[in-house]
Amino acid sequence: MNPITSVPQAIDLASKGEIVLLDVREAGEVATSGTARGAIHIPLGLLPLRADPRAPDYDARLTGKPVAVFCAAGARAGRAVELLQRFGHEAVNIGGFGDWCGCGGPVQRHA
């Protein structure tokens, strides 16, 4: 699979189920704005416990597909990508949630 190089490409791949979307913002941010449709939400602070395949709290949804990571502006996503890669995941930073929305990415809100 080609590496993800843009948000529109990530939107397309996500719609086909070919990537995992990961939102690493805090719960309050997600509650306020919603998140990308189908995204897994794991705050950056919890990611070391959830991304390590050897950890008891490992999130198996991170397995098997490239992970496209976003946060509010891109900085936390960059740190998350480094962490994911250390644990053997294929991961890329797609920037901020605003980038996703600005490119027409679908959004979901939890009631």
- State the pLDDT at residue 4: 84
| pLDDT above 60 (res 12) | yes
Q: Both tokens of residue 45?
A: 């602070």
Q: How confident is the model at residue 2 (pLDDT cuts 50, 70, 90)?
A: low
Cβ-based neighbours of 98, under 8 Å, separated by 6 or more:
72, 73
Q: Both tokens of residue 54?
A: 């050897």
- Spatial separation of the C-alpha atoms in residues 39 and 46, rounded to whole Å: 16
Choosing among 3.40.250.10, 3.20.20.140, 3.30.70.260, 3.40.50.300, the CATH entry for 7-105 is 3.40.250.10
For the chain, the domains span 7-105
Smallest CA-to-CA distance from 36 within 58, 68, 84 is with: 68
- State the pLDDT at residue 15: 96
Q: How confident is the model at residue 111 (pLDDT cuts 50, 70, 90)?
A: low
Give this prediction's pTM. Answer: 0.95
| pLDDT above 60 (res 35) | yes
What angle (nearest 5°) sits at the alpha carbon of residue 6, between those of residues 50 and 64? 35
Task: Return the percentage of the chain with pLDDT > 90, whole number.
Answer: 93
Alpha-helical regions (H) of the chain: 7-15, 27-33, 47-50, 75-86, 97-102
